[in-house]
């Protein structure tokens, strides 16, 4: 199992390049930029890293075709791929942070599209699986360098012929961000790889079965289908700093931000604790945007159980426990684990290089 790293969206392009150089030296497979609504552009910020490195794979995680039309996404991706001599990648999502911040009105005074989910408070477009599939198909067509008369999809349309024969490098890698069963099966059928988000070890057997179902529908099985998982890394030499960071960022774990009750039940003692989580959901978000790390109304013991189940946190004495978890990820079928760095990313990267990479080789 390879190790990738994911960076915060506020890391400057210069810092991205410095981290990429160090990651390449350590043996990290790939570096993902983050794509948020008010930060550095996820493609452009990788340009200095592309120039400064020669092996590490580079790309944004994640980009939605409802924020960036697949044709424009193809142009950006292939440009990065040429700049990096064939080392680009992209992960395509049906949602994401930017889509949650934007919307459209088809007519003056009309309703905003896409609408908010009544429980999760996120924006989800209609027919997400179809839309992501169409985006993947367009990206693959663009990557081929072959002439296309256009694309007439159920969601996305390209009304003019296109041919990206200016892009001469091999690749790029095209991932589907997939969590639900239908999206996983579709991604396995169409993409080069899949990125899960915050999947715990016990979630992987069912997910891998869905991957096998999707792969079986391909005309030809890919030689190297990739299966990755976004996972929050908070391990530090200072345990207090680690736990503060983990509390602050807990809202962004998939089960929390998505109010996934079935997953959250794994970390509670009874239903009253689930009620506490749901009743204080806004306080998880507040702990992040105020940078306080204080989740009001939720007992520390419950918070710590959630952190332990949904991320890697603690000091060096906790490292072996996390390595055991990572070995289980590997045994469950992951080809790579994408570790999300937060504060002091260079320190986190070097800890990973010193302790995680050797243990998983």
Instruction: Output the pLDDT for position 214.
Output: 98
What values do phi and psi take at 166, rounded to 5? -75, -20
Tokens 């024969």 sit at which residue? Answer: 165
Q: Which of 98-107, 165-174, 325-334, 348-357 has the lowest mean pLDDT?
A: 98-107
> What average pLDDT does range 342-351 have in this prediction?
98
Give the DSSP H/E element, type plus range, for residue 113: strand 112-113
**Segment 47-70, tens digit of pLDDT:** 999 999 999 999 999 999 999 999
pLDDT at 17 over 90: yes
The pLDDT > 70 percentage for the chain reads 99
> What is the 3-class SS of 337-357, one letter each residue?
EEEECCCCHHHHHHHHHHHHH
What is the rounded CA–CA span in Å between residue 139 and residue 295? 41
pLDDT-derived band at 96 (thresholds 50, 70, 90) equals confident
What values do phi and psi take at 37, rounded to 5? -80, -10
Crossing angle for the helix pair 239-249 and 300-310, nearest 10 degrees? 90
Instruction: Output the pLDDT for position 63.
Output: 97
> What average pLDDT does range 286-294 have in this prediction?
97
Structure tokens belonging to residue 2: 């390879």
Tokens 């419950």 sit at which residue? Answer: 302
> What average pLDDT does range 164-189 have in this prediction?
97
Instruction: Output the pLDDT for position 126.
Output: 85
> What average pLDDT does range 310-325 have in this prediction?
98
pLDDT at 100 over 90: no
What values do phi and psi take at 343, rounded to 5? -65, 150
What is the rounded CA–CA span in Å between residue 21 and residue 276? 44
Residues of the chain with CATH 3.20.20.30: 2-239+313-360
What is the rounded CA–CA span in Å between residue 72 and residue 4? 26
Instruction: State the pairing for strand pair 104-105/89-92.
Output: unpaired
Contact 25, 352 (CB under 8 A): no
Crossing angle for the helix pair 271-279 and 300-310, nearest 10 degrees? 90
Structure tokens belonging to residue 169: 């490098």
Instruction: Output the pLDDT for position 45.
Output: 98
> What average pLDDT does range 148-153 have in this prediction?
98
> What average pLDDT does range 186-190 have in this prediction?
98
Q: Give the list of residues 6+ apart from residue 278 with CB closer than 8 angstroms, or none.
A: 259, 261
Instruction: Output the pLDDT for position 34.
Output: 97
pLDDT-derived band at 114 (thresholds 50, 70, 90) equals confident
Q: Which of 111-120, 271-280, 301-310 has the lowest mean pLDDT?
A: 111-120
Instruction: Output the pLDDT for position 215.
Output: 97
Q: Which fold has domain 2-239+313-360?
A: TIM Barrel (3.20.20)
Strand partners, 8: none
């Amino acid at each position: 199992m390879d190790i990738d790293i994911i960076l915060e969206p506020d890391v400057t392009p210069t810092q991205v390049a410095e981290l990429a150089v160090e990651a390449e030296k350590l043996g990290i497979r790939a570096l993902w930029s983050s794509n948020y609504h008010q930060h550095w552009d996820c493609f452009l910020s990788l340009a200095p890293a592309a120039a400064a490195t020669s092996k590490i794979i580079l790309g944004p995680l994640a980009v939605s075709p409802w924020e960036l039309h697949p044709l424009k996404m193809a142009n950006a991706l292939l440009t990065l791929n040429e700049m990096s001599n064939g080392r680009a990648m992209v992960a395509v999502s049906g949602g994401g942070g930017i889509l949650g911040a934007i919307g459209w009105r088809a007519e003056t005074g009309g309703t905003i599209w896409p609408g908010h989910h009544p429980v999760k408070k996120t924006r989800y477009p209609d027919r997400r699986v179809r839309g992501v599939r169409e985006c993947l198909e367009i990206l693959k067509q663009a990557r081929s360098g072959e002439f296309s008369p256009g694309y007439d999809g159920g969601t996305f349309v390209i009304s003019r012929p296109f041919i990206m024969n200016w892009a001469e490098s091999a690749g790029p890698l095209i991932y589907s961000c997939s969590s639900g069963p239908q999206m996983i099966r579709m991604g396995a059928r169409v993409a080069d790889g899949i990125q899960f988000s915050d999947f715990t070890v016990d979630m992987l057997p069912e997910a891998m079965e869905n991957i096998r179902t999707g792969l079986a529908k391909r005309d030809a099985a890919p030689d190297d289908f990739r299966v990755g998982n976004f996972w929050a890394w908070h391990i530090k030499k200072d345990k207090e700093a680690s736990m503060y960071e983990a509390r602050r960022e807990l809202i962004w774990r998939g089960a929390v931000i998505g109010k996934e009750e079935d997953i959250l039940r794994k970390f509670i003692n009874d239903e009253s604790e689930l009620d506490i989580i749901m009743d204080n959901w806004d306080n998880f978000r507040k702990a992040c945007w105020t940078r306080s790390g204080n989740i009001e109304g939720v007992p520390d013991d419950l918070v710590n159980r959630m952190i332990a189940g949904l991320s890697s946190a603690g000091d060096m004495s906790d490292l072996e426990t996390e390595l055991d978890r990572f070995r289980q990820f590997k045994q469950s079928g992951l080809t790579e684990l994408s570790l999300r760095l937060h504060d002091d990313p260079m320190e986190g990267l070097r800890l990973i290089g010193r302790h995680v990479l050797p243990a998983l080789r």
